[in-house]
């Protein structure tokens, strides 16, 4: 592992905040709102912020839009913490977006799975290698959905892509992830990435941090969860899960794609500009909005 990559990994402890990408009503980028939101998020002690990740609706944007989102995020963060930039789609576009991210000032590349479902191992590895070799930046692989790695596959990918230094799990299979971590030890940094609702399991097996979409509406809650996890205070963590996290995720499970729509709607209720989601996601149904409003009344406790 390169020296600068090693120091980068050492600093990734706690919470990676995942800003949404605000859109205007006509679905154009709202970069002014993004700049304001990121400036507020970066005032909290996250270990990094992620521009154009899954919560940021990367897959609904063009490469040019993604580059603008990354550049805006970097400018708004203004050196307070690293900026991780999302990429994906396919090898050609993924590498192009990675280079754009480096040009825009990002500190790390987050590689989401390719669009093609069911690629063989060699093709999958070639995809990540294309992205990893496109820049000198450290690489974080987001293993989610159909991309199922074995412990041995992770080791082989790390051999092939020297810039790979961080693994973000999006499967939530704690048994599998624990085996991956044990087999590869401290070769990579390990993060929980499926959701705030999986935090207890992730910290129980020893991750050094997790990625949080709740960071958009309650940075304090995200940081409290990570603090409890890193201190193995599962009594405190379970209290937070029961009162705040689980009710929110019950709302998110009401419809596919709600993991972003719910967060954006909650932000709008709180007076934080987020706008609508882009297709293929859909906005919250009217019948669910009042339930979000009621839950946010409980979240006000965290503002004290």
Query: What pLDDT sits at residue 3?
Result: 58
Distance CA 168, CA 209 (A): 10
Query: What pLDDT sits at residue 236?
Result: 98
Global pTM reads 0.96
Query: What pLDDT sits at residue 74?
Result: 98
Q: How, if at all, do strands 209-212 and 14-17 pair?
A: parallel
Q: Which residues contact residue 300 at a Cβ distance below 8 angstroms, ignoring those fewer than 6 apart?
A: none
Query: What pLDDT sits at residue 7?
Result: 85
Residues lower than pLDDT 70 in the chain: 1-3, 304
Ordered domains of the chain (ranges, CATH): 3-231 (3.20.20.70)
Distance CA 72, CA 104 (A): 9
Give the burial string for 141-171 (b: 16+ CB within 10 Å, else e): bbbbeebebebebbbebbeebebbbbbbbbb
């Amino acid at each position: 592992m390169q020296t600068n990559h090693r120091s980068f990994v050492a600093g990734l402890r706690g919470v990676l905040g995942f800003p949404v990408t605000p859109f205007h009503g006509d679905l154009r980028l709202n970069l002014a709102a993004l700049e304001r939101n990121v400036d507020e998020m970066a005032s909290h002690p996250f270990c990094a912020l992620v521009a154009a990740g899954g919560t940021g609706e990367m897959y609904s944007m063009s490469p040019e839009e993604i580059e603008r989102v990354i550049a805006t995020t970097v400018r708004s963060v203004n050196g307070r913490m690293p900026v991780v930039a999302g990429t994906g789609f396919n090898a050609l576009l993924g590498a192009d977006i990675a280079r754009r991210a480096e040009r825009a000032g990002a500190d790390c590349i987050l590689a989401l799975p390719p669009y093609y479902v069911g690629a063989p191992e060699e093709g999958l590895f070639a995809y990540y290698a294309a992205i990893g070799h496109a820049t000198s930046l450290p690489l974080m692989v987001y293993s989610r959905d159909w991309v199922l790695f074995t412990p041995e596959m992770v080791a082989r990918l790390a051999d092939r892509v020297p810039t790979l230094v961080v693994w973000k799990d999006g499967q939530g299979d704690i048994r599998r992830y624990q085996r991956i971590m044990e087999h590869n030890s401290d070769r990579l940094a390990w993060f929980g990435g499926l959701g705030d609702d999986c935090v207890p399991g992730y910290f129980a097996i020893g991750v050094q941090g997790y990625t949080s979409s709740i960071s958009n509406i309650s940075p304090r809650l995200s940081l409290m969860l990570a603090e409890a996890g890193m201190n193995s205070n599962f009594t405190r963590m379970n209290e937070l899960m029961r009162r705040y996290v689980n009710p929110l995720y019950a709302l998110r499970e009401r419809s596919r794609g709600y993991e972003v729509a719910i967060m954006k709607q909650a932000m709008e209720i709180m007076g934080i500009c987020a706008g609508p989601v882009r297709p293929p996601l859909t906005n919250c149904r009217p019948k669910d909005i009042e339930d979000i409003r009621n839950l946010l009344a409980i979240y006000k406790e965290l503002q004290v």
